[in-house]
Amino acid sequence: MTDQELQRLVETISERDFGKPFRHQAVFNARLKTTGGRYHLKDHHIDINPKMLTEFGESTLEGIIKHELCHYHLHLAGYSGQHRTKAFQQLLKSVGGLRYAPRLATQSKRKPKRILIYQCEQCGQRFVRQRRVDTTKFVCSRCVVGYCCCRFVRHRKK
């Protein structure tokens, strides 16, 4: 599907389901990674994630377009188009739009957390951290030695 076909689809959905014309631009934006679409308040154009069409099909794409058109029409009518408002939720339900975009396959794989373990050479106290600690600046809080006595033991992935 091209940007021109997307534009025509958005215009027809707007006329059919909302009874109002869509007079701005709708384009595919491949830089969207975690969301199905985005409505821009300043210039009123709509960005759609092209992966929603390729991975989930046209019915999901229509649901996302309806969601973004809810933001669009409420904002132009002078109402708040935020997700938490009753007006948005009622309009979205009445037109049958999607509340959430489905999770993409590339989204589900998270990097495991890196956990660093430091151990005091004097008392043996262990410190578990997610961020690196500069052992030249920080000392053990248990034995409060005036010089650095902690050393890096190992890191593991959780």
- What residues in the chain have per-residue pLDDT under 70? 107-110, 144-158
Residue carrying the six token digits 């794989």: 109
Q: What is the pLDDT of residue 145?
A: 53
Longest dimension (CA), the chain: 75
Quick one: pLDDT at residue 112?
76
Contact between residue 9 and residue 18 where contact means Cβ atoms under 8 Å apart: no
List residues with catalytic annotation. 68
Q: Is 112 exposed, middle or buried (0-12, 13-18, 19+ CB in 10 A)?
A: exposed
pLDDT at 45: 95
pLDDT of residue 154: 58
Q: What is the pLDDT of residues 19-29, one digit of tens each?
A: 999 999 999 99
Q: What is the pLDDT of residue 31?
A: 94
Half-sphere exposure of residue 69, counting CA atoms within 13 Å on the CB side? 31
DSSP states of 84-145 as a string?
A: TSHHHHHHHHHHT--SSPPPPTTTS-PPPPEEEEEEETTT--EEEESS---TTT---TTT--
Q: What is the pLDDT of residue 123?
A: 78
pLDDT digits (tens, 9 = 90+) for 68-95: 999 999 999 999 989 999 999 999 999 9
Predicted TM-score (pTM) of the model is 0.69
pLDDT, position 144 = 63
